[in-house]
């Protein structure tokens, strides 16, 4: 029996100079097929934030499947997703040495290490000792 491998992922990438408006416009009208692929491959609660002074994109999502590596390989073979990546990748600069684009041998977005997490207190309590 497979066990759900729920985990949170945080990644960064840089926007190329002058790409902010086009990148935001693409994501304001994200393709239904791309959103369906995210759901199909167990990506949930996905958001991308932008820090303009550094042209930094920060992505955060939850993976709720049982095999992250296999799901990411399968998503990289999805035709609609690959067409989407062709549009977005040309607007980005990867921090990963040797990266050539989404779905390649080297990751396009750089995974960040989680150094802190607070899940909240149990219902009805205000501290860990309550």
- Domain boundary assignment for the chain: 7-112
Q: pLDDT truncated to tens, each residue of the chain (130 aa)?
A: 567 668 999 999 999 999 999 999 999 999 999 999 999 999 999 999 999 999 999 999 999 999 999 999 999 999 999 999 999 999 999 999 999 999 998 999 999 999 998 888 877 777 666 5
Is 96 in a helix, a strand, or coil? coil
Q: Residue 12: how many CB atoms within 10 A of its CB?
A: 17
CATH 3.40.50.20 at 7-112, yes or no: no
* Distances, alpha carbon 23 to alpha carbons 18, 43, 65, 96, in Å: 10, 20, 28, 20
């Amino acid at each position: 029996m497979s066990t759900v491998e729920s985990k949170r992922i945080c990644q960064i990438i840089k926007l190329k100079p002058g790409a902010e408006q086009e990148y935001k416009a693409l994501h304001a009208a994200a393709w239904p097929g791309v959103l369906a692929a995210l759901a199909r491959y167990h990506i949930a609660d996905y958001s991308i934030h932008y820090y303009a002074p550094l042209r930094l994109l920060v992505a955060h999502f939850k993976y709720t499947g049982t095999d992250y590596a296999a799901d990411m390989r399968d998503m990289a073979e999805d035709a609609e997703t690959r067409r989407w990546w062709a549009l977005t990748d040309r607007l980005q600069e990867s921090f990963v040495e040797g990266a050539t684009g989404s779905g390649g041998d080297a990751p396009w977005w750089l995974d960040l290490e989680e150094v802190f997490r607070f899940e909240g207190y149990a219902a009805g309590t205000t501290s860990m000792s309550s």
